[in-house]
Structure 1
């Protein structure tokens, strides 16, 4: 295994140090370097806090900044952040309007964020949104029910814009729960992921195989199937997503193609083009698009497709200005 690192056990800390140094206009370390926060906090708004294991970059630290998160807590590779990290982030970012915790549905993340919320509840108003956007309703050995995957970005962007506009904690929580039923994601992998600590791939595929329905921790998917053309792969994934989401022609759809870390951008755009052609045949309009590498699984070759059914209000939240290391646009 060849990686640009010094030691596996210091990889995350050194990577975060580099991230903060590279984006010091936007972010800073929180107390004792236990989390990354906005460099300039804004009292009077609800603070949004998310996080998870390292290995998914730029999620979540790359989404800290105006219009998205106030803080992100990072654990070791594919390992949940600890409750003390999350409590420290709550204490430092709560500007008086409470904190909303955005948590991917994995057992470790849910347990540690819930524990932190309980411990901090005496001093802070806290609500939690648990993201469940995976089409696989059975979850995996890491989760009960639908996993939280790339659709987490969509929820963080929409809730981040709403918080910036002055929405209160209860309203943000209600929107997050509502969005859970209108966002679906499916992933496919052409290779496993090499975890630095073990120096082994999480699963090995033959040259003519791919893993359909894969998660973002390198866990196997719902089926190992024969490799196919991009058109065929995208068609299979969209059939699973749309049969679960069931949009109609009046829906405003957000189409998000995400790379897992080892997929060239050119292939992401090619696959996105396949999806647009298929939507056109179905008579479905895509109102907003996002293509890029945002929620990764270290070096996995693969991609995920996220489709979100949005209303006009949420299109405005999506279009609202955002200024983070990984996502940035003006209205």
Structure 2
């Protein structure tokens, strides 16, 4: 396999760049450099225990291993620390939630989570009348910095095509031409833009808009992630990412007054200390109808591939699925049927 074009510099595209590097496949990544990706607006939180049922994320060990390798590689080649470990304190919102954890999840949690001892809960800072769960092995990826430094690295390495790619390029079939350069294969990691491309019309994309706030709360501890009515992710210098408020099938990418009100109320229901709103942001992420990622090769257009649909767990899932797709491209290995794009054809 000669040169591959990756479309998109969000977390799926950057994960694909890492995975192709491991396979020693030559590539370029196309991105206009504006940073408008949903994964740049995201918190970058890797949380192994999610959902109301306190479920351990499927295949968590292999996903965490792939993510560690991916973000370590990006940290090394850019010269910047882009990921850090941080435990997560998940505060129960009700007695029913606490019983759900204790009756169903606690016996299964093992080393990934445990009951949060009351002495570790800062009752002066948080609304925590029902106790909580101490989730281990959480990580925070510095999303904006990862994007900026990765784009700089790719530019300096001659691997960046600073442009948008028109949908027609994907319809060409091999060879593909973009920016005056010929490519043997294309990987579409363009996020929500793929939903509007007719070559992927069989994929049941849904638009999931997320809104988040950047707040400043100088009295909040910065050594843990807090989740209750809202997720609070430390960003440094007493700043916290607070989110998210989600809308289904809203295609307007801008923040809303409704989102601002809901997030403000959720923060007030989670913490007991004053906070200041610094910024309000929103972005649209692609989610597949069956809530599973989509990857693999187009059944009709040779050497056209896709990596998409990571939803709210992109920073946890994208490196693992990128590694599978890179192996599929390089060695023709089979992809899991549950996430293969061919399930829609």
Larger radius of gyration: 2
When normalised by structure 1's length, the TM-score is 0.28
Query: Which of the pair has the greater relative contact order for Cα pairs under 8 Å at 6+ separation?
Result: 2
